[in-house]
Structure 1
């Protein structure tokens, strides 16, 4: 196999691994967002004077419902911003993968001729 095709194939494999990593990150963020939204929903069902606890490492710390709601909303906002960034990276990587695949196919068909 010619050196240039081998290099293109290696580059394609590297970009493919990046795409897989980004997909995993996106999935993790989606799960975190869903968990945070569910926690916020459950928190909204509690009475204002009911005790609320949050985790801090291995500890449970007593806090207020208002503080917990604010923390969850901030967390969701940050996670959604990160998710948008990951989606942009995913689009960019997908485009690069398609381009590399096209180039590889062209190089392979020229090699056969």
Structure 2
């Protein structure tokens, strides 16, 4: 589940990066339309760039959060795996903590 969320955020981040590249290459007076749900609204270049940068920051924060969660889960898995090996190796069986 975390992997899927992480992949979706990475994809969204790449899309934002591509949009920013295109906008930064566009002239200042270019006609820009921004998708808001199902509607396309005319916007100016600087507002659209600012909006995309905010989205990019949000996606980066979410990506870092997911990476930390993934690390904690992996650490807990390794810890439980070691406990299981110890319990099975000692022949005592697995007990709940």
TM-score range, shorter chain: 0.7 to 0.9
TM-superposed deviation, 1:111: 2.7
Higher relative contact order (CA 8 A, sep 6+): 1
Say whether residues 1:48 and 2:28 are aligned partners.
yes
Three-state SS of the structure 2 residue aligned to 1:62 is strand
TM-superposed deviation, 1:109: 2.1
Other-structure match for 2:52: 72
Judging by fraction of residues, say which structure has more helix.
Answer: 1
Unpaired runs of at least 5, structure 2:
93-97
Other-structure match for 1:93: 73
Distance, in Å, in 2 between the alignment partners of 1:75 and 1:37 is 10
Say whether residues 1:111 and 2:96 are aligned partners.
no
Say whether residues 1:29 and 2:12 are aligned partners.
no
Unpaired runs of at least 5, structure 1:
1-20
Aligned residues: 92
Normalising by structure 2, report the TM-score. 0.88
Normalising by structure 1, report the TM-score. 0.76
